[in-house]
Chains A and B, each alone.
Chain A
């Protein structure tokens, strides 16, 4: 890690003061900070030194990295070359094999207690943690080892944040989230399958700018990105309010852009910034593309029922349940009916004939 500050580095690379301020404004806007904060960001960034970042990939699909590389503000290149020192990342680093592992160890040693640990993927605990290993080291062991010297941990993606797809029933590898293992470090969860790229870089930029993690919610997600539900910010919300729903993906409602609730949209229970930040440099996002939100940034989204089943519809086989219940009801009811008939018949049969002599207690 060299000792140049960010502003020095930028000047070295020929970035003007104006360009720098533009970057600061973009960062502030992305983090929903007031414009007043721009000079503060600039001041902070001017003095900031590049922190070391170690990125560990466990049970994951590389989708999070794919997403990260499509970050546009700040770009990943900008991030890597200008703001952080990404010292270890399977997919992005040039080194391989022992060389790569040595780079990790060296970075840890050099920046002990100061580096940022980014994790994507869940950690398998089954079979002694042997379901997944890197360079002969189990994920569990490597996480514990690297986390120990980290200043903070960023769990990128739903797998690292909440266990994600590997943890889906029946969870054959015994996958867990980072926060299930590491209890003594500040952890920020950036869930999503994958997470929005600018959210990943935004969290890193925040740390870089302010030297601390952004404000988090009860699931350790940055409030600024995960404070509101997709549904609340959805541009199709007015159709929901009017009771206008697409019933199929090719009906008139779908063509007219009506609400996708009935087609299984999980927007109401999903907290993420898709509706505002959008994807692919602000081009579009799932609902805009005509598909309901699948709730990928929520814990256990994989086991929360069919993606095409409305939230208000039970995700079990209701028809079968009704039949079972009906059969059970008929069986119990038939037994009760037989008992009732017997009792009633008994009461009727044993009824003595009453004459006027039987009416007074005295007689």
Chain B
């Protein structure tokens, strides 16, 4: 199989397979969670659950000083990693073309040079995340094989994208194919790893926030 065939497979059947596993897997995970149900809170509410849920959904994206002061680097790195990933994923012209083909609408792209730089920063940030995971005793203690798998499948698309863009290591067509395959790997792994947090974080924040909102407490 040559590079063009590999690319054609990655842009065709490969993407289809990955997309099916990703969408069906995530729906499965979602239904597995929702089906467990939640009893209504019968205590007299002090505030609005919906308001609290929405507030926590947004506000939890901000760091809390009490913990930020203890672990500023890890928390900052968390932001860099996530923002970097989002910028590269959503603001690169060719990526926007992909979303446009699915959603039917697009948005302006950032200059490729900016994406290139952000990609490099994201890669460094991911490496830093691994260093933290290996060196922080709590993280090392909590880490399972799944954490390292999730790390690797997150790094690969960013790394191969960067290598492809900069014509490094492999011929461009091959690297582009590898890049797409790594994205497909991410899509296949995501529903069965902690990467489900890309969706479940919203449910988790909502539930905590809803309860807090009803009770009129901070969250």
Residues of A bordering B, CB below 8 Å: 219, 229, 232, 240-245, 247, 259, 261-262, 268-269, 298-301, 303-305, 309-316, 318-319, 321-322, 324-326, 328-330, 332-334, 336-338, 340-341, 344
Contacts and interface: CB of A to CB of B under 8 A. Distances in A.
The 8 A-B pairs with the shortest beta carbon distances in the complex, nearest first, are A329-B27, A333-B31, A337-B35, A329-B24, A243-B109, A325-B23, A312-B94, A310-B97
A332 B28 contact: yes
B113 interface: yes
16 contacts: A219-B2, A245-B109, A259-B93, A262-B96, A304-B8, A311-B11, A312-B95, A314-B11, A315-B11, A319-B102, A321-B19, A321-B20, A325-B24, A326-B27, A332-B24, A332-B28
Interface string B1-43: 0101101100111011001111111111011101111000000
Contact of A303 (B8, B36, B94): B8
Contact of B101 (A259, A298, A318, A328): A318
Main SS of the interface on chain A? helix
A110 B213 CA distance: 96
Interface of B: 2, 4-5, 7-8, 11-13, 15-16, 19-28, 30-32, 34-37, 92-98, 100-102, 106, 108-115, 167, 172-173, 176
Contact of A243 (B7, B28, B93): B93
Main SS of the interface on chain B? helix
B16 A313 contact: no
A245 B106 CA distance: 11
B4 A300 contact: yes
A344 B37 contact: yes
Contact of B112 (A242, A310, A318): A242
B37 A341 contact: yes
A12 to B, nearest CB: 47
Contact of B98 (A313, A316, A329): A313
B20 to A, nearest CB: 4
